[in-house]
Amino acid sequence: MSDPADIPAKALFVATPAVRRRLRSQRVAVVCLSLASLAIFLPLAAVLIGLVKKALPALTWEFIVDVPRKGMTAGGIWPALVGTLYFVTLSLLAAAPIGILAGIYLNEFARDNWLTRVINLAVVNLSGVPSIVHALFGVAAFVIMLRWGQSIRAASATLAVMVLPVIIVATKEALSAVPRSFREACWNVGATRWQTIRTVVLPNSIGGILTGVILAVSRAAGETAPIMVTGAIFYKVVARGDLFPYSINEQGMALSYHLYQISRNVPNMPESMLYATALVLVVFVLAFNSVATVLRVRLRRRKKW
């Protein structure tokens, strides 16, 4: 009988036919998933590269900080850029706290009864409502009923209502992902339900909550219909160098609406300015998303599970 020490190492670990089949299946799955990822990434990369190439002739610092001139065919996009910052920031300041608190209540405090199930179903359905429906609601609720008129605060409130279901759903899913054993350990040492949520559940679910906020930013910055009838304006005279040119009680320009108007209603519009405006809007959304992504990654590193 041969000594096991004399048998080569490779001979001791020979894969069985069943193991080889599983490995082949795994390699096929990896190839398919890689191709699916490329199918998503390559068109996106092609669009961005084409956008950058066509935007470069007009994309300068002056284009960003200057105001529109000569019937929008010259100058820059500063008023629209600042207006977009107003709309997105104000809508998030309204939607994020309400959405997160509502998600906490529905997941941690609400009883499982018919009313809670109806509310959860309504939240999920609202996240799929077309933006033009939210626009009509904003006109009825904020412009007419509350008598805010067409203003930045009316448009921001409309955007907040539109992104609220996204934040609620993301918050509920993030809280549900935290193991129940974490909660039970806190309850066993005498912690209250709110102390458990505040000190254990929320710190371990903040990454998922920020994901919802990222989605909300992307949608709020890119929507045109909700703001074009509640607070956005085609053109507003703004002095160059005015960092805060708007009041929340008046209308303001926005990049998405500005891009729509100059592409449809401005004759002799230079093509490079169109693409430069679109690229700035994309970079604006990516900048917001990057900040939230960095925060999410830093907070996820603190997880203990």
The confidence score (pLDDT) of residue 188 equals 86
3-state secondary structure 116-163: HHHHHHHHHHHCCCCHHHHHHHHHHHHHHHCCCCCCHHHHHHHHHHHH
The residue ranges of the chain whose pLDDT is under 50 are: none
CA-CA distance, 116 to 204, in Å (whole number)? Answer: 24
Which two tokens mark 91? 């809508």
The confidence score (pLDDT) of residue 202 equals 87
DSSP for 58-111 reads T-SHHHHHSPEETTTTEE--HHHHHHHHHHHHHHHHHHHHHHHHHHHIIIIIS-
The single-letter code of the amino acid at 160 is A
The confidence score (pLDDT) of residue 297 equals 76
Burial class (CB in 10 A: 0-12, 13-18, 19+), 297: exposed
Q: Give the pLDDT confidence of 180-215 residue by residue, as tens digits.
A: 888 888 888 888 888 898 888 888 888 888 888 888
Cβ–Cβ contacts within 10 Å for residue 290, how many?
A: 12
The confidence score (pLDDT) of residue 220 equals 85
CA-CA distance, 206 to 104, in Å (whole number)? Answer: 12
The confidence score (pLDDT) of residue 104 equals 92
Q: Which residues contact 179 (CB under 8 A, 6 or more apart)?
A: 305
Q: How far apart, in Å, do the first and last CA atoms of the chain sit?
A: 48
Using CA of residue 171, residue 174, residue 176, residue 180, what is the dihedral sign? Answer: negative
- CB–CB of 51/275 below 8 Å? yes
The confidence score (pLDDT) of residue 3 equals 57
**CA nearest neighbour of 174 among 197, 151, 193:** 197
pTM beyond 0.85: no
